[in-house]
Structure 1
Amino acid sequence: METAQQLKEDLQKMLGSLTTTAATVVAEQLVGFENNGATLTQIAFNHQWTDWEVIQADLFGIAQLAQQALQDTSLTLSPLLQGLQKPIIDPSVATTLQLYQRFHSLKAVQNKRQMRPSTITEHLLLAAIDLPLAKFPYHDFVSDLQIREIQKELGQQLDHWRYEALSDRFRSTCDFWQFRLGAIKLTKEGQKVQNYGSD
């Protein structure tokens, strides 16, 4: 089988394993003959998604595709990634996570890193996306009970989840970043999530 045809089939197989949003974001960036590919900003505008949704879907999609290519050496893209036998997680993100694992306090990490709280939680979200399910301390930030409560309020159709749709009572006990973390956890557990955040 010709390489081009094999590459096409491999890409279709790999993209098919992603959530709809992640597959769309990754696919629409591809560049080829008579196809310039779209930027993340253009993708967000065209689909009326937030920048954060597109960035998170892109990171998740690329990480999952890279993991597949590294694990399955029969894939056409596998040789291109053999030199990437190192953690995908960003060094700064890794430092934030390591400090949290040492101190078990977001405030302590913030003080050590001299960063805003929002930057610290963003680092933790990125770490959760990049790392295997068992390697991130989800239960330190969002409990299974909270996730079940979210599902009870918003339903099982995760692609329709919106933080603003939660009751005021629940939002008073669950921050927006914890809500996104819960969606990431469910994604890692195999449930299809198309959107992670708010509009």
Structure 2
Amino acid sequence: MTPQDLLQLLSQRQVRRLRVIENLLRGRKTVSTLYWGQRYGLLYLLGLDKALQRGALDQVAQTLVTQRLAAWTQDEQPQLRLTPAGHTQQQATTYYHPQTALTWPRVDLKLVTQRLFLAVQVVSQYAHHNVQYYPLMTDLATQQAVRQWFHQIKSTALAQMVLTALTHSLTQLPELTAMVTTAGLSGYQQPGQTTAQLARTYQESAWEIYLRRVDGVIQIATDARKRDHPLHPLLAPAWQTPVTRSAQATLAAVTTTSLSLDQVAQQRHIKPSTVREHLLEAAIMLPVTAVPYDRLLPQTTRQDLLAALPGALDDWEYMALTPELQARYDFFTFRLLAIWCGKQGEMA
């Protein structure tokens, strides 16, 4: 990621923690990372660069500071805010904003990418009656899934069916994004190009090219959710709930029973703190209708806390509450209210 890529992830009005951005990219799903990822509008970054090393963005951020496009703020973690010059440059820069980004946390990107790219290669070679080729390097599970799909759907019309489906998806994207997606695919006498190669060709950063490619892959996966799509059996399993199975089980127990949170913990043989973490994870990642806010946040609780908190959500601090309110309401309730309020803004 270059300084110009990071510039697009920062804000002039909102101080942003560099570690949150880093942990999102690395796929770290702590409640704190998810919460601030939601507040920054950057949850789509979750797991996009799992190989990123801790601290890898420090020098990138420092370059922006040196260029006076961003400034550090005092905190226990490195925090950045765009300067007026940085905000001006951000607004003046033509940078790609993926159109499918809101759905990215719900897709296993590695699974869908590997299956799609191998399937396209297999179909292309099959259409040209070529059996002497080197298949793309993928894991065994991907190879087996594509092999099973191919033998189930194989026909003389398969290549045209896949071409028609891919064309339908790609025409919904900006032209350059469609071109980048297509150029990354391998087929008969057509080696797929890397993000680095495409970055040189189109004079964009490798990260921006990567965002375009992910956008294209997810658009195809979205269309493949329809049962009559030729890639449906292959790509549909890539869609997943954005919360862990354990968090799903906790949410179900809270939603379908009248047990207290401590009783749910006993029933599930987990710590009470884990129950609360599960519920916060679900609240962040799922639609507002999926969480029983009326039970967890009664109207009187909302009124008491909102009357004592500042208007700007990012300025809320639990320790700034009076000792009386802290004694009545724990941090879980405070954070859940912040998530709920944030969701109201999304729905507005």
CA distance in 2, matches of 1:151, 1:176: 14
1:66 to 104, 128, 150: 104
The answer to whether the 8 A contact 1:99-1:109 is kept is yes
- 2:241 maps to which residue? 87
- 1:78 maps to which residue? 219
| Deviation string, structure 1 residues 47-82 (Cα, Å, up to 9, x no partner) | 29xxxxxxxxxxxxxx9452799xxx7453423566
- 1:108 maps to which residue? 263
Count of aligned pairs: 156
| Deviation string, structure 1 residues 20-47 (Cα, Å, up to 9, x no partner) | 63439949x866xxxx966489788322
CA distance in 2, matches of 1:100, 1:20: 25
2:253 to 91, 99, 111: 99
Q: Give 1:104 deviation, angstroms.
A: 2.2
Greater percentage in helix: 1
User: Which amino acid in the other structure matches residue 241 of structure 2?
Assistant: P
- 1:157 maps to which residue? 312
1:129 to 275, 281, 284: 284
Bigger CA drift: 168-177 or 36-45? Answer: 36-45
Q: State percent identity of aligned pairs.
A: 25
- 1:189 maps to which residue? 344
CA distance in 2, matches of 1:23, 1:190: 15
- Please give the secondary structure, in 2, of the residue aligned with 1:172: helix
User: Which amino acid in the other structure matches residue 329 of structure 2?
Assistant: C
- Please give the secondary structure, in 2, of the residue aligned with 1:45: coil
CA distance in 1, matches of 2:239, 2:48: 24
Q: Give 1:164 deviation, angstroms.
A: 0.5
CA distance in 2, matches of 1:39, 1:80: 31
User: Which amino acid in the other structure matches residue 240 of structure 2?
Assistant: K
- Please give the secondary structure, in 2, of the residue aligned with 1:184: helix
Q: For the structure 1 residues 39 and 24, does the alpha-carbon distance in structure 2 shift closer, same or farther, using more than 3 Å as the test?
A: farther
CA distance in 1, matches of 2:278, 2:55: 20
- 1:23 maps to which residue? 42
Instruction: List runs of 5+ in structure 2 lacking aligned partners.
Output: 10-36, 59-75, 81-100, 108-168, 173-214, 223-234
- Please give the secondary structure, in 2, of the residue aligned with 1:127: helix
The answer to whether the 8 A contact 2:297-2:337 is kept is yes
- 2:78 maps to which residue? 46
CA distance in 2, matches of 1:37, 1:169: 43
The answer to whether the 8 A contact 1:96-1:109 is kept is yes
Instruction: List runs of 5+ in structure 1 lacking aligned partners.
Output: 1-7, 13-17, 49-62, 192-199
- Please give the secondary structure, in 1, of the residue aligned with 2:328: coil
CA distance in 2, matches of 1:41, 1:122: 28
- 2:193 maps to which residue? none
User: Which amino acid in the other structure matches residue 23 of structure 1?
Assistant: L
Q: Are 2:290 and 1:138 aligned?
A: no
The answer to whether the 8 A contact 1:133-1:188 is kept is yes
- 2:161 maps to which residue? none
User: Which amino acid in the other structure matches residue 78 of structure 2?
Assistant: N
**TM value normalised by structure 1:** 0.61
- Over aligned residue pairs, what C-alpha RMSD do you find? 3.9
User: Which amino acid in the other structure matches residue 92 of structure 1?
Assistant: S
The answer to whether the 8 A contact 1:30-1:37 is kept is no
**TM value normalised by structure 2:** 0.37
- Structure whose alpha-carbon radius of gyration is higher: 2
Tell me which of the two structures has the higher relative contact order, counting C-alpha pairs closer than 8 angstroms and 6 or more residues apart.
1
CA distance in 1, matches of 2:321, 2:254: 28
Q: Give 1:103 deviation, angstroms.
A: 2.7
